[in-house]
Structure 1
Amino acid sequence: MSGKPRSPVGTFGYQAAQVNLGAMVEGSSGGVLLAQLAAYARPVNPDFPYCVVNDYVSTALGLAMGVPVPPGALVKLGSEWGFVSLGFGELGKRPPPADFEELGADLPWEATGVVVLDQWISNSDRHDGNLAYMPSLGVAAFDHDQALFGACPRGEGIGSLRQVREQRVKQHELVPHLPTVEHFESWVGRTQSITRAELNRAVGTCSGANLLSRAEAEALVDFLAYRQLNLGRFIQESYPEFTGVTAWTLDSGGGE
């Protein structure tokens, strides 16, 4: 690792200048204040009907793993449910494009977590515009609207999942910048510790909001459970792409 100091807020944080504090909440203990924070909203898009589900479920899974993703929630945007996540950056501004070489060198643990998350959710849309690294704040991976169901038309979600079920994410932009594979075993273990009940809860939130049919929700949980079990194989198959790694120490990690 480089000699750069780690962020005082860990690997994910928000500068106080982003937060506008208001009046104290009546009846609260400990001095709780109303606050306005920078946030981003993703409404339902008829051209990409699964984008809200993709973003919400991917974020929920990333948080469950411990990957640095901005916290988010389903929020009613007018008459329909959308996805809203906290903004990451200084002074409420969108962060600059990430320097993947710098990120891999400085924070290989966090970078590895992002790679494992993307393999799990079949996200081939990772680039320097949706992965931020600011040494003063940390790391944030966001905008997962092209993961999971992808950009398929309404009603074709189950077929889309079936099509990519066995496919690893190829040419992940972070992989060549990882100097070690030592963190993969831990991240895969974290991912595989997430129970099917937790998958059902995350996906069920979307079906409860009428963003998914019951059949689509069941197919998505099955898809996630299968890829969860086969993460080790997907990473093994990516071996030639780890050009920055001098020692390959990974076992297959199981699978079906």
Structure 2
Amino acid sequence: MTSGTRPPTTGLGYQALQVDHLGALVEGSSGGVLLARLAAYARPVTEQAPYCVVNDYVATALGMAMGVPVPPGTLIKLGSEWGFVSIGFGEHGTLPPPADLELLGAERPWEATGVIVLDQWVFNCDRHDANVAYLPTLGVAAFDHDQALFGACPPGDGMTSLSQSRDARIKNHPFGPHLKTDEHFESWVNRAKSIAREEIMRAVWSCADTGLLTRPEATALVDFLQHRQKNLRKFITESKAELTGVSAWTLDSEGGE
């Protein structure tokens, strides 16, 4: 392991989230449970972005299953419509500043590598310094996955969008030039590949059950995710020329499995 690298021993990952207020003891709780108020952010479906909630929820669910540092989120009813809500990451309930990607790559290569692998899996072309946070006192958080998966395609074009990006890799990931080692790719690829079909289906079909996806779209999305899951090593190895800070390449694979 590279000297100074944080050891990859965080299990399912962690989030250092600021609790803004602790209220009264919950009546009937036996373990001293208190009401807590946290900063959270809600995303509704819009006419311009009909798949944004599905994209964010499914990508977040898979990131959490892998152990990538993504803020926990879930589907939630926003009035009469379903949306996505994510717990905020930052100090004192404020938005964190844009991440210093060079510092993040140097000090937290484990987390940075996990974000790259997740973005390749869910075909997230919209990673940048404003949707990833790095606060040395709290940790790393990657959020806003609304452009992943189906992308920003119009209503009804979701299956066409999935077909077009099925075998495409993310090119020029913004973390690439700042990563100095490839030593964590194998572990993160294996984590992603360990996610069972049933877990993928749970996340996707939750969106169909709430009416956010049609059944054919849900079926196509499960197939899309399983296909990209099998080809993650291929996508990563095809990107090695863009990882300009990595001097020695050790990930071994030539194509899908």
Q: Which residue number corresponds to residue 15 of structure 2?
A: 12
Say yes or no: does 1:125 pair with 2:126: yes
Name the counterpart of 2:140: 139
Question: Retained in 2: the 8 A contact 1:55–1:147?
Answer: yes
**Does structure 1 conserve the Cα–Cα contact (< 8 Å) formed by 2:48 and 2:154?**
yes
* 1-structure distance, mates of 2:4, 2:256: 38
**Overall identity of the aligned pairs, in %:** 68
SS at 1:201's partner residue?
A: helix
Counterpart code for 1:209:
T
Whether contact under 8 Å (1:75, 1:82) holds in the other structure is yes
Are 1:165 and 2:166 matched, yes or no? yes
Q: Once the 2 structures are TM-superposed, how far is the Cα of residue 5 of structure 1 from its aligned partner? A: 8.7
TM-score, normalised by the number of residues in structure 1 = 0.95
Q: Which letter does structure 2 place at the counterpart of 1:13? A: A
Corresponding residue SS for 1:244: coil
TM-score by length of 2: 0.94
Give the 5 Å matches for 1:1-256. Answer: 12-15=15-18, 18-252=19-253, 254-255=255-256
Aligned equivalents of 1:5 and 1:56: distance in 2?
28
Aligned-pair distance for 1:176?
1.1
- Report the Cα distance in structure 1 between the residues aligned to 2:253 and 2:217, rounded to whole angstroms: 30
Cα distance change of structure 1 residues 146 and 183 upon mapping to structure 2, 3 Å threshold: same
Q: Aligned equivalents of 2:58 and 2:189: distance in 1?
A: 18
Contact 2:6 2:108 in 1 (8 A): no
Aligned length: 252
**Any stretches of 5+ residues in structure 1 without a counterpart?**
none
Residues 23 and 162 from structure 1, CA distance in 2 versus in 1: closer, same or farther, beyond 3 angstroms?
Answer: same
Contact 1:44–1:51, Cα closer than 8 Å, also in 2: yes
Return the alpha-carbon distance in structure 1 between the equivalents of residues 141 and 254 of structure 2.
Answer: 27
How big is the shift at 1:227?
Answer: 0.2
Deviation per residue, 1:127-161 (Å, 9 max, x gap): 00000000000000000000000000110000000
For residue 3 of structure 1, report the CA deviation from its aligned partner.
Answer: 5.6
- Report if the CA contact (8 A) 1:2-1:106 is conserved: no
Distance 1:194 1:11 in 2: 18
Q: Distance in 2 between matches of 1:193 and 1:62?
A: 12
Residues 1:168 and 1:4: Cα distance change in structure 2 (over 3 Å): closer
C-alpha distance in 2 between matches for 1:135 and 1:188:
25
| Cα distance in 2, alignment partners of residues 74 and 242 from structure 1 | 35
Please report how far the alpha carbon of residue 12 of structure 1 lies from its aligned counterpart in structure 2 after TM superposition.
2.7
For 2:188 and 2:34, how far apart are their aligned partners in 1? 36
**Separation in 1 of the partners of 2:212 and 2:74?**
14
Deviation of 1:19 after TM superposition, in Å, equals 2.3
What SS does the corresponding residue of 2:50 show, helix, strand or coil?
coil
Task: Please tell me the root mean square deviation across aligned C-alpha atoms, in Å.
Answer: 1.7
CA gap of 1:11–1:79, structure 2 versus 1, over 3 A, is: closer
Q: Is the 8 Å Cα contact of residues 2 and 105 (structure 1) preserved in structure 2?
A: no
Q: Answer whether contact 2:6 2:110 (CA < 8 A) is retained.
A: no
